[in-house]
């Protein structure tokens, strides 16, 4: 059997497909899988011999409706596809699966729980929602593949990337801590001055090196950030995604916002201290296989407006970003010490 799996964005959501496909490779080694995603995300899927990546090019070849039809024809040129599993459920993926359905190919689609998520942020039902990985598994179950991923390490770097990571670390006994202080949306970002203070407090207690992570567009910000903390190395824009994965996998732990860096770190098996503001692990996007005590946030009982967003978009309803400002560096440091990470 040959199945087509669709998930083209965003980075964190694509990375969360890796535990599912890793489990598929172990339980169903005779099933050929083609993962439709962007070329940049290829390093997330190096774990299985029965898995191949088909690169989606939304800028040129696969742009617009004509491009999506061209994408369908490109996919059809390869080995016959017996089933489609849509883990995205957006207009692009709906168009692709429509073309396959016209040919009689069965399709399974993720249930994103959109109504549950709306109820959560409106305060109607503040309960833990199903994790995204679990929702992916549900879509596979509807296709006849029962999966229960349990591995902590799901993203595996190649040997060249590991060699590059080795060159970055030296042989001293300092703690190696990754830091990803930014996120795409304001409601996910802890005030920069708090993060700087936290890192300086940590460096006063232990010999430590901090490795800064972020997108290329954040490299200038991180260069300024680096100057305010002793022992900081800015890696943003200096490594490939695969090399970043290799470095993260060798850290003692990572401090991150609710962001793709949080997911990426968790999927390498790295311990992740995640800091939450307007969003919450209740939304089903928590760091995979990480204990809940590693997720630091103001309780929804103490701040009833939380969570106010699923993806981090929008503005603070209160106008004071209390969800972030109430989280002092002392609170975060105390948790890190309680967890015996330093």
Helix (H, G, I), strand (E, B) or coil at 50: coil
Q: Which two tokens stand for residue 258?
A: 């609710």
Q: Beta partners for 5?
A: 35, 85
> Which domain covers residue 11, as residue numbers?
2-142
Q: Please state, rounded to an integer, the average pLDDT across all residues of the chain.
A: 96
Q: How many domains does the chain have?
A: 2
Buried b (16+ CB within 10 A) or exposed e, 292-314: eebbbbbebeebeebbbbbbbee
Cis peptide leading into residue 30 (ω within 30°): no
**Closest by alpha carbon to 34, among 9, 7, 13, 59?**
7
Q: At what angle do helices 192-205 and 219-226 cross, to 10 degrees?
A: 40
- What are the tens digits of pLDDT across the range 288-305? 999 999 999 999 999 999
Q: Is the pLDDT of residue 48 over 90?
A: no
**6 and 120 inside one domain:** yes
Q: Kindly report the number of other CB atoms within 10 A of residue 148's CB atom.
A: 8
The CATH number of whichever domain residue 283 belongs to comes to 3.40.50.2000
Q: Which two tokens stand for residue 39?
A: 């070329």
**249 and 126 inside one domain:** no
- How far is residue 328's CA from residue 337's CA, in Å, rounded to a whole number? 15
- What are the tens digits of pLDDT across the range 229-269? 999 999 999 999 999 999 999 999 999 999 999 999 999 99
Q: Considering the entire predicted model, what is its pTM? A: 0.96
Q: How far apart are the two ends of the chain, measured CA to CA in Å?
A: 49
**164 and 127 inside one domain:** no
**170 and 309 inside one domain:** yes
Q: Is the pLDDT of residue 170 over 80?
A: no
- What are the tens digits of pLDDT across the range 171-222? 788 999 999 999 999 999 999 999 999 999 999 999 999 999 999 899 999 9
Mean pLDDT of 54-60: 97
**54 and 168 inside one domain:** no
Q: Beta partners for 176?
A: 209
CB 6 within 8 A of CB 20: no
* Residue 172: predicted pLDDT: 81
């Amino acid at each position: 059997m040959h199945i087509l799996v669709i998930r083209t964005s965003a980075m964190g959501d694509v990375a969360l497909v890796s535990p599912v496909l890793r489990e598929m490779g172990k339980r169903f080694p005779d099933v050929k899988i083609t993962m439709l995603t962007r070329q940049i995300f290829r390093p997330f899927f190096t774990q299985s011999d029965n898995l191949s990546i088909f690169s989606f090019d939304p800028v040129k070849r696969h742009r617009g409706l004509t491009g999506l039809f061209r994408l369908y024809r490109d996919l059809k040129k390869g080995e016959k596809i017996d089933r489609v599993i849509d883990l995205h459920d957006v207009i692009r993926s709906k168009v692709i699966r429509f073309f396959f359905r016209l040919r009689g190919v069965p399709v399974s689609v993720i249930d994103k729980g959109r109504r549950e998520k709306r109820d959560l942020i409106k305060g109607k039902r503040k309960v833990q929602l199903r994790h995204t990985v679990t929702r992916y598994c549900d879509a596979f179950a509807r296709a006849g593949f029962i999966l229960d991923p349990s591995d902590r390490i799901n993203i595996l770097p190649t040997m060249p990337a590991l060699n590059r990571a080795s060159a970055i670390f030296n042989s001293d006994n300092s703690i190696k801590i990754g830091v990803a202080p930014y996120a795409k949306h304001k409601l996910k970002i802890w005030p920069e001055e708090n993060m700087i203070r936290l890192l300086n407090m940590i460096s006063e207690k232990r010999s430590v090196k901090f490795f800064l992570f972020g997108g290329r567009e954040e490299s200038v910000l991180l260069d300024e950030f680096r100057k305010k903390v002793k022992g900081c190395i800015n890696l943003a824009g200096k490594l490939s995604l695969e090399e970043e994965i290799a470095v993260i996998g060798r850290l003692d732990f990572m401090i991150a916002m609710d962001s793709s860096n949080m997911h990426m770190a968790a999927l390498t098996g790295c311990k992740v201290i995640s800091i939450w503001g307007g969003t919450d692990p209740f939304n089903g996007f928590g760091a995979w296989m990480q204990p809940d005590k590693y997720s630091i946030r103001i309780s929804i009982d103490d701040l009833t407006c939380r969570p106010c967003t699923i993806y981090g978009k929008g503005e603070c309803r209160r106008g004071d970003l209390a969800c972030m400002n109430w989280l002092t560096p002392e609170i975060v440091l105390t948790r890190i010490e309680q967890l015996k990470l330093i």
